[in-house]
Amino acid sequence: MADYQWQLREQLVADQPVVSIRELLQRQWLLPKRFVHYLRSRRQVLINGEYQSMNTLIHSGDQVTLQFRGDEFRQSDANQYLPTATPHLNVLYENRDLVVVNKPRGQKSHPNEKGETGTLMNDVAGYLHHQAYMVHRIDQQTSGAVIVAKNPIVVPILDRLISRGQIHREYLAIVTGRLTGSGEWNWPIGDDPTDPWRRMVNGEAAQPAQTFYQTLAATEQASLVRLKLGTGRTHQLRVHLAHSGHPIIGDPIYNPGSGEGMLLHGQRQRLVLPFSNEQLEIIAPVPTYFERDLVKYHLE
C-alpha cells in the first residue's frame, strides 16, 4: 500500500446535491485540476473505501477520502519554516485544516531569508509540531487575524475563496485628521520610483486597487475608520489612506514621526471553511495600546 503523507476524510451531509465526483472536487470543493488529475490517475480518491471513476455520482452520507503522497504539491525549501521551540500564539479558531491567529504588531508574517526565525510562521510551525502553510500575510506593523493552513491541500482552496472575496478581513485604523462619511477609493497603486520600500497611487506598473471605508468616529485631530479590501495590493490601505490626506497614525513609511507604532488592526475575519463551505466570523480583539489611543484621541 502506498505511503500517503496526507489523508482527508469527509462525510457528505444530508443536503448534499447529487453530482459527479469530478464536480464535487473541482466545482464544490474548489480543488485545482492538478490535484484532481493526481487523484484520478493514481486512484487516490475513495468513495466509501473504494476507488470510483470521476463520472460516478455521489450521494448524501457517502464518505470521501482524499489521499496525497506529497509530490503533488509545488513546494520549495523556501517554504519550510523552522519551528519555534516555545511559541506564544493567540489562537482565535482552529480545525483539522487551518488555524486563525491574532498576529501582534511588530512581528513579521514570514521569514525573508533561509533559516530566519521569530516570525508568525515559525511560531505556528512550533505550535503545530509540523510544517505550516502560508495563505496570506499582513504587514509587520499591522496586527490582527491571519489564516494559516495546516496542510497543503487547502492552500489553493483558501486562495480561491480569498480571490473571490468570500474570505475577507475588516480592519480598524486610527488616522490623522477628520475623515467623514463612507465610500470607496479606486486609486491604482504601483511602485514609488524614488524609494523601493514605498508604494504610491499611480506609481510605476500601477495595478487597480479598491478600498471600502466607513468613518466610525472623528475629531479634528484623528478619526477611527473601518476598512475592507476589494483588492489586495501591497500596502494598499496605508497608501490609499495617505493619498486621501488621512495617513494612519504611527505608519513609519507613509506618516513618519506621527506615533510610536502603527494603528492598523485586522479586527474581523469572515472565514469560509474548506469542504463544508461553512461561514464563520472570527473576531481578533483590539490590542490594549489601540484602546488607549482611542481614549487619547477621544474616539472611544
List, by residue number, the catalytic residues. Answer: 139
CA atoms of 21 and 30, how far apart (whole Å): 12
Any idea which residue has 511588530 for its cell? Answer: 106
3-state secondary structure at position 33: helix
d(CA 274, CA 64): 14
Whether 262 and 105 have beta carbons less than 8 Å apart is answered as yes
Q: SS3 for 3?
A: coil
> What 3-state DSSP class applies to 53?
coil
Distances (CA, A) of 254 to 74, 192, 206: 36, 12, 18
Collect all residues with Cβ–Cβ distance below 8 Å to 14 and sequence separation of at least 6. Answer: 60, 61
